[in-house]
Each structure stands twice: as structure tokens, then as C-alpha cells.
Structure 1
């Protein structure tokens, strides 16, 4: 049951990323790009969560699992703070 929930979260994040990046392609508003990249990181994070849930308990993927979300947040933070367009 948890795998289905993780998969739905990954699909929702991927759909948000696609819509935001498609909106950026049409309008060239930089905030859409940074938000889309953030949601790509969230989608990868959820996919890594599914992989981590199905690996043996002796293998810890928590660092690799949170790395895409951290990179996504950093992209969004960069876009909000330092992008001046």
C-alpha cells in the first residue's frame, strides 16, 4: 500500500514539473523554470523513496534519497533570491 502512495506522489510531482516547465517554455518566466526544476527534484526524491523501500534493510539510501530534493530546493532558492530578471 505504501508503494502505491509513493508512486502517486512521484507521479504528482512529475506532472507538476512537466506543467511548470511547459509553462516556462511558453512564457519564459524564470520563476516557472526554477519551480519546475524543484519539482523534478521532488519527483526523483519520491522515486528514490520507492527504491529505498524495496532494498534490504542493510543498505541505507537515505542520503541518496534526500539529495534530489535538496538540489531542487537549492534551485528554487537560487531562483527566488539571486535571479534578478
Structure 2
């Protein structure tokens, strides 16, 4: 059941990134770009979670990589929010 939930979270993040990217392509609003990039990194984080907890539960520890991608995603969104403040 956990594998299904982790996979659905990854697909949801990827879908959100795709929708934000499509909206950015139409309007060129900078905040949409930063949000799409953040959700793309969050999707990568969720894929790493699936790999860590389902595919290689004992052999490999991807905790550092997961935390790094989550931190990078939040930093990207924070930079976008601060940089685009008018």
C-alpha cells in the first residue's frame, strides 16, 4: 500500500509540474517558472522515495539524496519568491 501512495505522490507532483510549465509557456509569468521547477524537483524527490523505500529498502540508503532534493526544491521556490518580489 505504501508503494502505491509513494507512486501516486510522484505522479501528482509530476502532473503539477507539467501543468505549471504549460501555464508558464503561455503567460511567461516568472513565478510559474519557479513553481514548475520546484514541483519538478519534488517529483524527483518522490521518485527517490520510491526507490529508497520500495525498490532498494535495505541495500541502499537514499535519505541524503532525498533530503537534498527536497531542500533544493524549497530553495528554488524561495529564490523565485524573493527574486520576483516587485
Say yes or no: TM over 0.5: yes
Q: Does residue 1:82 correspond to 2:83, yes or no?
A: yes
CA deviation digits over 1:36-72, x for unaligned, max 9? 0110011000000000012142532100112222111
Task: Give the TM-score, by structure 2 length.
Answer: 0.90
Unaligned runs of 5+ in 1: none
Identify the residue that residue 60 of structure 1 maps to in structure 2: 61
Unaligned runs of 5+ in 2: none
Identify the residue that residue 10 of structure 2 maps to in structure 1: 10
Pairwise CA distance, 1:24: 0.5
Task: Give the TM-score, by structure 1 length.
Answer: 0.91
Aligned-residue Cα RMSD (Å) equals 1.4
Moved over 2 A (4+): 56-59
Identify the residue that residue 22 of structure 2 maps to in structure 1: 22
Distance (whole Å) between structure 1 residues aligned to residue 57 and residue 85 of structure 2:
46
